[in-house]
Each structure stands twice: as C-alpha cells, then as structure tokens.
C-alpha cells in the first residue's frame, strides 16, 4: 500500500469517526477541559445523521466494524475496560469480540477442502455453519469421523489484504505522531505499531496458532487455573485450524455467569492467576484473553469451574530477565516496598539512570498507597492509569516494545476479572502466584542451584578449552597439564556447594 493510499485511509477513518461523533462524543463534553470541549464542538459540525443514533459505544462499534481487523482489535481491547469507560460503553463494543457478520458456509468449506487437498468427508463427519465470527476468522462446529466434537477456525477471505492496508495506515499514523507530537515520542509509537503489526501477521498463519496452542497447553496443565483445547494436527493448514471442542459458554455470553454453582470470586481469581502463572512460570502467555476467548463450564463433582482458553493467534514471550523484573516489581508492590520497586525499574533500565531514584519511589508510593486496603469497586482505574501515565512522563520512562503485549494483556485480564467480579482485587489474586515464584527462584536453595549450574558450565568450558588444538603461535595449556586444574576447580565448586547447602539447611532449621 502506497504512502498516499495510507494517508487517504487515515483521513477516511478520521472522517468516519467524526461523522459518527465518536472522536469526542457529546455525551462526555461536561467532564472535558475547555480545549477538548471546543475541539468536540468543531468536530460535531461535520457529524452526520449517524451521530444521532445510539450511545457513544454503539456509534464507535459501527465505525470500527467497517474499518477492518486492526480497528476491531482496538475495540475488543476497549470493551474489556468497563471499570474505566463504563459498563454501557463496554457492552456496546462487546459484539466485536465474536459476533461480527459471518461469511458463507460454502466459502469456509471450500477453503478447508483446499487446505486439506481432499474432500471434507475424509476428515469430518459433519461441518456446521459459523458459531462465532471475529475480525480475522470465524469458527465452525464440526465432528470428526470418530465422533470427536471439534471447532474449525477459518480465515476470512481477503483478510490478508485488509491487514496489509491497516498496517500501512498504522505505520503512517505512528510516523506522524512521532514527528508532530513531541510528547508521544517517549511512547515509541513506531516500535509499538511494529509489535501490533507483527502480532497480526502471525495470526494470518494458523499453523503458528496450532503450535502455540500445543505449547501453551502443555504449560497450562501444570497449574489448575485454565486449560487449552487439543490440536487435531490432521486438520491444520495455513488458513484453517481444528481444535477439540471447548466445553461451556464463552464469557461474552451473559448466560455464562448464570450457570449453577459458579463462584464469581474464584472464577475471577483463576483468570488473573492463570495469566500470571503463564507469564512468570513459563515465560509464555496467551496475549488475547478477552471474554470471547474464555469458555467457562459449571463446577462438577466438587471441582471448581473449568476455564478453557481458545484463539492462540497472539502469544507473548518473556525472557528470564523480564520475568524476574516482573515478579520483583509485583512482589514489591504486594509488600508496599516502593524503594525496592523503584530500584528494579532502574536496574531493568525502565527509568533513565540520571533520574532521582528516591523521588521515583515517592511517586510510586503516591499511586500505590491509595489503592491498598480499599474495595476494588471504590478504586477508579481511569484515575489510577492517568496517574501512572503522568509518572512515566515525569521520569522520562519510554515505552518498552518487548513489554507491550504483557502490559496490554494485564490490562485486559484485569478488565475481564472485574466484569466477572466487580470487587476483584488484582493484587490479592496475584499474591500466591508471585510469592510462589519468588520462593522458587530467589530463595537460598535457588541461588545454590544457580551457582551449581554456573560451576558446571564453567567446568565444561574449561574442558573444551583444554582439548582445543593449539595454534602454532599461541601457547596454551596442554590437555594432560590442564586436567589437574580442572579437578581442582571441580573440587572447589563441590566444596562451595556443600558449604552453601549447609548454610541453607541451618537457616531452614532455625525458622
């Protein structure tokens, strides 16, 4: 898509939003500052008849649905934050998750048969009409030849062209924001947009989604919080994907939370803990956990409600360092240890080194203290996010592109949990998962284990060095002469490990 076409696309989107009075809706005018009120009044001069139909969320949803996959993704994100934008606004956008218009059944069947390279009846005994349709694909209920119920996901026709068009427009918007709005530069709009575009591109090859579902599904089995469907690999291609059927009802269905025996508090905690366990324990997390992708079934035989997550098109990954920083930041907030939280931000490079560490800790305290000890329903998430944004600006904190999916998913997960249980306390729900990670990874026993691993790696490296033939002009230790040194180092490592283990045992015995 050319730059001119991308520019025209942005102008068309802005015009559509203005015509629908969805940029600065008249309904929010009373709470806006004077400059924003003036801008809203000017924009409403261009509003059409659509601006008089429905609530702000309904008008915005109509525009986003017409604008394509990237815009719909943004609407899905906004719909999870009823605590910030209001219940009516979130509900008006909620159909963007899985209730978009479907494309014809025969088109879907033809796409799957083309991917299989064989007629449908070689794999499926039944293939039904669409049961849910989202921005990139739609899902069909089907049955395998052996009677196993499955869901088949099929990409929308021509969606690749739509995503390419949206990507070009997003890149242009980011470039203009960086050039024309100096305050936006620290948010690194270009890098942020590239993360979003990369995620969309990966969603366009359902083979990647199948692999992600299988990988994360294995990790989920180690915790009780949520599960993944099984992949039917014979029914996987670039544009279609077959998974075992997810029992229960999608959380986007109002009836899901009315199932008998459902404990809303426990369910909300499971959603939060499930996400954190994925991110902290496995470094791999489902990065699109909105209500349309979470299926809940009622408790059976004394067990809690079962949560099955679907749609693995977007996965986030965290390296060991990022997981450590995340756990220690959360742990510091849980213990209200703001100096430690500030120190972690500086160690991670999230805050520039020239900033005042004590002042940053003071700013964190100003945000955190009003939240603790209060019912979640009494905490304004909008005000809290505004305060956090002010702090990031005050201390020159730049956006971290590698953390974009994590931050976005954390906000989405809290929004989902708050819709399940309006009194949900994110910090209380996170506590056991974070403390478990800290106890396992930062305890004396963990430090002994890490030291042992380092010692073994050092010994192996020395052994490889000793066995490497010498270059003619370089003097090296000959293999036989090196072995006494290696045995000495190995003995020293073992002695040190024994000493550390003894200290650890003594410490455990005294507790």
Which residues are the active-site residues?
288
Pick from 138, 148, 413: which is nearest to 269 by CA?
413
Distance (Å, whole) CA 356 – CA 402: 25
Strand pairing category for 306-309 and 249-250:
unpaired
Q: Which residues make beta-bridge pairs with 154?
A: 138, 240
Q: Mention every residue, 6+ apart, whose C-beta is less than 8 A from residue 179.
A: none
What does each C-alpha distance from 341 to 112, 349, 364, 384, 479 come to in angstroms? 51, 13, 8, 17, 49
Strand pairing category for 284-286 and 249-250:
unpaired
Q: Which two tokens stand for residue 418?
A: 């708050």
Pick from 193, 215, 79: which is nearest to 134 by CA?
79
Distance (Å, whole) CA 419 – CA 291: 9
Contact 279, 317 (CB under 8 A): no
Q: How many residues does the chain have?
A: 511
Distance (Å, whole) CA 184 – CA 199: 22
Helix (H), strand (E) at residue 428? helix 426-441
Distance (Å, whole) CA 337 – CA 85: 31
Alpha helices in 247-380 (DSSP H): 264-277, 320-334, 338-348, 357-368
Pick from 244, 245, 254, 256: which is nearest to 298 by CA?
256
Distance (Å, whole) CA 96 – CA 74: 10
Contact 112, 137 (CB under 8 A): no
E strands within 122-272?
Answer: 124-133, 137-144, 149-155, 240-244, 249-250
Buried b (16+ CB within 10 A) or exposed e, 324-358: bbbbbbbbbbbeebbebbbbbbeebebbeeeeeee
Residue 197, CB-side half-sphere exposure with 13 Å CA sphere:
19
Nearest 5°: the CA angle 415, 419, 420 is 120
Pick from 425, 412, 408, 410: which is nearest to 374 by CA?
425
């Amino acid at each position: 898509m050319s730059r001119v076409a991308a520019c025209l696309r942005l102008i068309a989107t802005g015009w559509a939003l203005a015509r629908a009075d969805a940029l600065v809706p008249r309904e929010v005018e009373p709470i806006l500052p004077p400059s924003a009120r003036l801008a809203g009044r000017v924009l409403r001069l261009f509003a059409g008849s659509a601006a008089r139909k429905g609530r702000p969320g309904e008008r915005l949803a109509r525009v986003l649905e017409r604008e394509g996959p990237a815009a719909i993704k943004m609407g899905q994100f906004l719909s999870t934050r009823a605590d910030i934008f209001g219940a009516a606004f979130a509900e008006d956008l909620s159909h963007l998750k899985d209730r978009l218009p479907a494309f014809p059944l025969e088109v879907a069947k033809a796409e799957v048969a083309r991917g299989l390279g064989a007629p449908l009846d070689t794999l499926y005994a039944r293939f039904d009409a669409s049961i849910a349709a989202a921005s990139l694909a739609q899902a069909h209920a089907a049955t395998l030849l052996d009677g196993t119920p499955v869901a088949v996901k099929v990409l929308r026709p021509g969606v690749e062209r739509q995503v390419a068009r949206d990507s070009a427009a997003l890149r242009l918007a980011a470039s203009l924001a960086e050039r024309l709005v100096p305050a936006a530069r620290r948010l690194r709009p270009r890098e942020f947009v590239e993360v979003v575009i990369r995620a969309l591109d990966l969603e366009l090859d359902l083979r990647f989604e199948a692999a992600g579902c299988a990988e994360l599904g294995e990790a989920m089995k180690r915790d009780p919080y949520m599960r993944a469907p099984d992949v039917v690999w014979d029914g996987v291609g670039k544009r279609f994907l077959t998974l075992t059927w997810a029992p229960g009802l999608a959380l986007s269905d109002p009836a899901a939370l009315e199932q008998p025996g459902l404990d809303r508090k426990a369910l909300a905690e499971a959603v939060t803990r499930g996400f954190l366990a994925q991110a902290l324990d496995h470094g791999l997390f489902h990065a699109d956990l909105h209500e349309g992708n979470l299926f809940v079934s009622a408790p059976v035989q004394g067990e809690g409600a079962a949560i099955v997550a679907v749609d693995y098109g977007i996965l986030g990954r965290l390296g060991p360092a990022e997981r450590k920083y995340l756990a220690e930041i959360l742990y510091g907030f849980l213990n209200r240890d703001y100096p430690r939280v500030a120190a972690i931000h500086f160690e991670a490079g999230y805050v520039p080194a020239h900033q005042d560490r004590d002042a940053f800790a003071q700013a964190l305290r100003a945000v955190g203290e009003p939240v603790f000890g209060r019912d979640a329903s009494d905490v304004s998430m909008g005000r809290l996010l505004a305060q956090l944004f002010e702090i990031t600006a005050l201390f020159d904190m730049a956006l971290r592109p590698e953390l974009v999916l994590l931050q976005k998913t954390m906000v989405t997960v809290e929004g989902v949990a708050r819709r399940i249980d309006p009194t949900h306390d994110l910090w209380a729900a996170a506590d056991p998962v974070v403390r478990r990670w800290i106890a396992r990874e930062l305890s004396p026993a963990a430090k002994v284990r890490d030291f042992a691993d380092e010692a073994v790696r050092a010994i192996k490296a020395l052994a490889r060095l000793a066995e490497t033939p010498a270059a003619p002009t370089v003097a090296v230790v000959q293999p036989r002469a090196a072995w006494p040194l290696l045995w000495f180092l190995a003995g020293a490592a073992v002695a040190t490990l024994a000493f550390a283990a003894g200290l650890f045992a003594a410490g455990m015995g005294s507790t």
